Amino acid sequence: MAGTDAMTSGRTHAPSVGQRITRIEDGPLLTGHGEFLDDIVLPDLLHCAFVRSPLAHARVDAIDVEAARALPGVHAVLTLDDLMPQLRSGRMPLGASPVGGQNKSTPFVLSDKEVAYVGEPMVLVVAESRYIAEDAAALVNIAFSSLPVVSDARKALADGAPVCRTELDSNRMSNFHVGYGDVDEAFANAAHVFEDELWQHRGCGHSMEGRGVVAEVRPGGELCVWSSTQMPHDVYYMLAGMLRVEQEKLRVVTPDVGGGFGPKYCFYPEEAALPAAALLLRRNLKWVEDRRETFISSIQERDQYWSMQVAVDSEGLLLGLRGRMIHDQGAYAPKPVNLPYNAVTAVTGPYILPAYRMDVDVVHTNKVPVSSVRGAGYPQAAFTMERMLDLVAVRLGIDRAEIRRRNLIPADKMPYTKKLQARSGASLVYDSGDYPAAQAQVLAAAGWSDFAERQKKALDQGRYIGIGLANAVKGTGRGPFESGAVRISQDGKVSIFTGATAMGQGIATALAQICADELAIGPDSISVTAGDTARTEIGLGGFASRQMVTAGSSVKLAAKAVAAKAIKAASKILSVPEGDLELDDGYVREKTGNQSISLGELARVLRGAPGYAFPDGLEPGLEATIRWRTDALSYANACHVAEVEVDPDLGQVTITRYVALNDSGRMINPMIVEGQVQGGIVHGIGNALYEFMGYDDEAQPLTTTFQEYLMVTATEVPNLETIYRETLAPGNPIGAKGVGETGTIPAAAAIISAVENALSPFGLRISQTPVSPEILFKLIKSARDAARQNPDSQS
């Protein structure tokens, strides 16, 4: 391990970092004893349902709740007016660090005057059971006057377009530019300029467990809120600001979280409404998002339109890239514009690009609000860059891998400073990585060089096979910090407390492994408490593939501090020089002699006894809390090669082989890393070929069940071949980089590259995802028709 001084000789427990150890999370989850949000049972718990807008844009003329209130078993039917005495504001606060230019962007706790998307929460029903709550919700009678709808972000900018909410002057929420270098000069001097219009459509996060909130009113005016969120501390700070409750009387806890994938990053209206209603009614309340609610109220992402031009020299070296991007923000913006900002600053990826300029419009539409879904802007960025490189390669007749090789940042230029800024304002510095070597390695593994021959043979048999590749870089480990505390209890049990959120990714096991090695114990004896604001005072949570780097670094340093303190205390108690002592299996022992003392005993001594002596020169407590600070990002990279076969009569794409290289620095637990990469790739396969959140021209959602919105199942994916490099991150004490999103980011680009390659006999170009079989069928048909009309143009 980078910079470690953990002992390795003669110890009971072999170091666990780097080992594929089974997870400490698994036992309860395998036996049905996990505790997810809906598993929480409290005395006299009441159940909630929301009445949601059936219209994409309408004025609310009247809300009649009388029939609903009269239904037996109903305790309350609440509108915003009813909740207002408990709230400082009826409008949600802007999440994360606020930046300017974003007035009137956040949603309402409940909407009672105007609704701006189908699914917007309007009325909260409280009843004895969810069944009755849903019965009552159906009885709430709302009179609406329809208002004009903005369904397409591009049309939303047109003169005279209706506004998505009447309080706005324009649907343009924000306009900004990023870039550097003299782009116009680059284009003026270019040997070749190519252009394309690209689109990635929106999909949902669809963790298998939806969102959910439980609010418990406790004696003494305390309020405990459980939420299935990635961001318990954020929920805590936001609620403290919104409710008329003192911060110190509030506690937010995440139970077991059944997947995050981005949508649980935001603070939602339901997370404010439930606690407010609980305070109002003085009752314990539960709301569990059902799947239809996920489709119409949980964050969606990826709807961006990119109009791009690329300038290259005669060898295909990049000279400049410019364009305009329209980001469909949906009806509200619960967060600042981080996502489109991520996208346009990530476009240049692992490549050297001398000049760059993007003009970005962030545009409201009458659709579900947009924030992050696994990748958070990076998949669109990778899709844009990789598709443009393929365009250059195809037009110039240069191999697609070769054009990338020529433009990749070479390893000897690391660390490499991009002339762009991260959203913290810090320069965007790629800390480490060998992109050309990574690409070469995966190409060799995937048989890239002999594919053309295989393709020709297949074509002779009438089969359309194709290969594609894509590179990606992901800034991981976003700061400014994450809390990590290590504490030894009087029985010697080691506990970790962190502001990181466990949402299925195995963070508890990975943190335990890091801690175990510092304390020379086994990781399975360590307990990890993540996501409890009463146990961890400040923290950030799960986003941007950050927790391994940030929480892992804090836990490592905290465990190291605890180890040092244990040695120091033992030295005093045993009268043995510190240098002669070592930690092993719960004891501090003499390296050569027979004396030892258990960590439990040390903890008992260090917790103090009333009025008795205390070891000289030591602070009380056998524990340490570290909040390792960082402003820099650790850049993970990936290179994926996909092989497909396309049936042109059906437009059917079969992924026949998938080889992915991932470099996320030090792998604390390679098994967990592999799981993240594989799951991420399959999410990307969904984005490329299956997942499509449809809306009609009136912004009515068309895909609100899992029969219409297609999640990838086990029968659609091949066995993924994953290979790994471990370029240690120089900027953090554990050498790790994040891995939660690197699998997803290049996947759609690689697959579409392969599909386009398979269909190269038709000379067609694919500039969007997802591509359904019918879309491909139509593309092939129009290519065939065009070829018939103009036989010379076919490539």
Residues 120-179 that bind another protein (CB under 8 A): 130-131, 134-135, 138
Binding mask 463-502 for another protein (x = CB under 8 A): ----------------------------------------
Question: Could you say whether residue 25 binds another protein (CB under 8 A)?
Answer: yes
Min dist CB 286 to another protein, Å, is: 11
- Residue 503 makes contact with another protein by CB under 8 A: yes
Euclidean distance between the first and final Cα of the chain, in Å?
Answer: 53
Tokens for 477, please give them.
């480990």
Establish if 695 lies at the interface with another protein (CB under 8 A).
Answer: no
Quick check: bond before 770 cis, omega within 30?
Answer: yes
Q: What three-state secondary structure class fits 320?
A: strand
Instruction: Give phi and psi for 774, each to the nearest 5.
Output: -70, -40
> Smaller CB distance to another protein: residue 548 or 632?
548
Enumerate residues 6+ apart whose C-beta is below 8 A from 627. Answer: 481, 482, 483, 484, 538, 554
- Joined tokens for residue 192: 């070749």
Which of 362, 301, 368 is closest to 332 using CA atoms?
Answer: 368
Contact between 36 and another protein by CB under 8 A: the answer reads yes
Residues 719-738 that bind another protein (CB under 8 A): 719-720
Contact 276, 86 (CB under 8 A): yes
**Strand, helix or coil at 588?**
strand
By CB under 8 A, is residue 712 in contact with another protein? yes
Per the CB < 8 A criterion, the answer to whether 177 and 324 are in contact is: no
Q: Which is nearer to another protein, 391 or 681 (CB)?
A: 681
Q: Pick the piece of the chain touching another protein (CB under 8 A) from 29-37, 317-325, 402-410, 545-553.
A: 29-37
Nearer to another protein, 86 or 207 (CB): 207
Sequence-distant (6+) residues with CB within 8 A of 609 are: none
* Helices 507-519, 547-574: inter-axial angle, 10-degree rounding: 30
Nearer to another protein, 491 or 785 (CB): 785
Interface with another protein in residues 192-211 (CB under 8 A):
205-209
Nearer to another protein, 138 or 618 (CB): 138
Q: Which of residues 256-285 bind another protein (CB under 8 A)?
A: 256-259, 261
Q: Which of 678, 732, 753, 767 binds another protein (CB under 8 A)?
A: 678
- 599, containing H or E segment: helix 599-607
- Contacts for 188-193: CB closer than 8 Å, 24+ residues apart: 189/311, 189/319, 190/311, 190/312, 190/313, 190/319, 190/320, 191/312, 191/313, 191/314, 192/311, 192/312, 192/313, 192/314, 192/392, 192/395, 192/396, 193/309, 193/310, 193/311, 193/312
Considering only 674, 759, 766, 769, the residue that binds another protein (CB under 8 A) is: 674
The correct pick among 232, 330, 506, 746 for binding another protein (CB under 8 A) is 506
Residue 116 Cβ vs another protein, minimum distance, rounded to whole Å? 24
Tell me if 507 sits within 8 A of 254, measured CB to CB. no
Interaction of residue 778 with another protein, rule CB under 8 A: yes
Q: Judged by CB, which is closer to another protein: 509, or 727? A: 509
Q: Who contacts 122 (Cβ-Cβ below 8 Å, separation ≥6)?
A: 50, 51, 52, 53, 60, 63, 79, 110, 111, 112, 115, 142
- The reply on whether position 707 binds another protein by CB under 8 A is yes
By CB under 8 A, the count of residues binding another protein is 77
In single-letter form, the type of residue at position 336 comes to: P
Positions in 755-774 near another protein (CB under 8 A): 772-774
- 716 is a contact residue toward another protein (CB under 8 A): yes
CB of 478 to another protein, least distance (A): 21
- Do 321 and 418 contact (CB within 8 A), yes or no? no
Position among 276, 681, 693, 752 found at the interface with another protein (CB under 8 A): 681
User: Of the ranges 148-156, 252-260, 338-346, 519-527, which one interacts with another protein (CB under 8 A)?
Assistant: 252-260
CB 316 within 8 A of CB 351: no
Minimum separation from the CB atom of position 483 to another protein (A) = 22
Is there a contact between 658 and 643 (Cβ–Cβ < 8 Å)? yes
Indicate the residue among 445 and 561 with the shorter CB distance to another protein.
Answer: 445
Task: Using CB under 8 A, pick the residue from 9, 14, 32, 616 that binds another protein.
Answer: 32
Q: Which of residues 414, 781, 784, 787 is near another protein by CB under 8 A?
A: 781
By CB under 8 A, the residues from 630 to 649 that bind another protein are: 647, 649
**Which residue has tokens 């005993």?**
601
Nearer to another protein, 122 or 238 (CB): 122
- Stretches 36-44, 140-148, 354-362, 514-522: which one binds another protein (CB under 8 A)? 36-44
Q: Phi and psi (nearest 5°) for 500?
A: -65, 155
514-543 binders of another protein (CB under 8 A): none
